[in-house]
Amino acid sequence: MIAQPGVDYAYARVHACLGRHPGEPAWQRMEAARDLGAALDAARASAFFSTWTAGLSAYSDIHAVESRLRARFRALVAEVAGWMPARWHAACAWTGVLPDLPALYHLYHGGAPLAWMRGDPVLNAFLDPELAKRRHAMAGGGLAPLAAHWETPSALRSAWVAEWRRRLPRHADPALIGKLAAVIGEHLAAFPATAPEAAWAARAALRARLRHLLRAAVLHPAAAFAYLAIAALDVERLRAALVRSALFATR
């Protein structure tokens, strides 16, 4: 019989992964690139960058870049869930839905299916040209907890959080989990009013708070969720750098 991993194992893996995230000099080299090939060359010097950009080339288009990042984030969520004790798997796995919510919201409200969505293994299931059928598909399966909450982005976010809390183990220590939810919630509440020139500073401040929380969550499952949030922020920054460099090449 194979023993299940414990929180101590997950905590060690989280810190090992966080240690591979790039420092500011590596980010600056990546963000200074004027085409995608140069950005990917810069990426090869970083374990984090090289993992997330594997399979991309100087000739990849923006949709290929975003497809790779979405797929890698889903894989990371599954990986982190696998580090955790079994009773935490469902809550960890639910975080994998988050990157798809903007596209799903677009589709739910009648937005036209876009060509790149057909190549996405998750979104492809919701591209029926008939809106009623599209919504029916979203009402079942893994998205069922969100079925009655697609009216506004804030309602959708609240429904996602409610389902995440429902999936947490019954006897989970609520203090650090609550703190994590509060830190992210405060950022999301303030971000719509943030000036564009201050947006990255706001994200950096959130990242710093998440790192502080992760350090405080010694041998606590909240560390895994804090790490996934940090990874999402870093991937958002990586996405911006790669898309910008790809756009430079098309001018």
Q: Under a CB-based contact definition with an 8 Å cutoff, are residues 94 and 166 in contact?
A: no
- Confidence tier at 174 by pLDDT (50, 70, 90): confident
pTM for this entry: 0.91
- Confidence tier at 246 by pLDDT (50, 70, 90): confident
For the stretch 96-119, pLDDT in tens is 999 999 999 999 999 999 989 998
Q: Please, is 5 exposed, middle or buried when counting C-beta atoms within 10 Å of its C-beta (0-12, 13-18, 19+)?
A: middle
| The two structure tokens encoding residue 132 | 């009623």
**What is the three-class DSSP state of 212?**
helix
Cβ count within 10 A of residue 250:
9
* Residue 78 neighbours by CB under 8 Å, 6+ apart: 93, 96
For the stretch 23-61, pLDDT in tens is 999 999 999 988 999 999 988 889 999 999 999 999 999
- Confidence tier at 1 by pLDDT (50, 70, 90): very low
DSSP class of 54 = T
Rounded CA separation 121/67 (Å): 10
Q: Under a CB-based contact definition with an 8 Å cutoff, are residues 30 and 246 in contact?
A: no
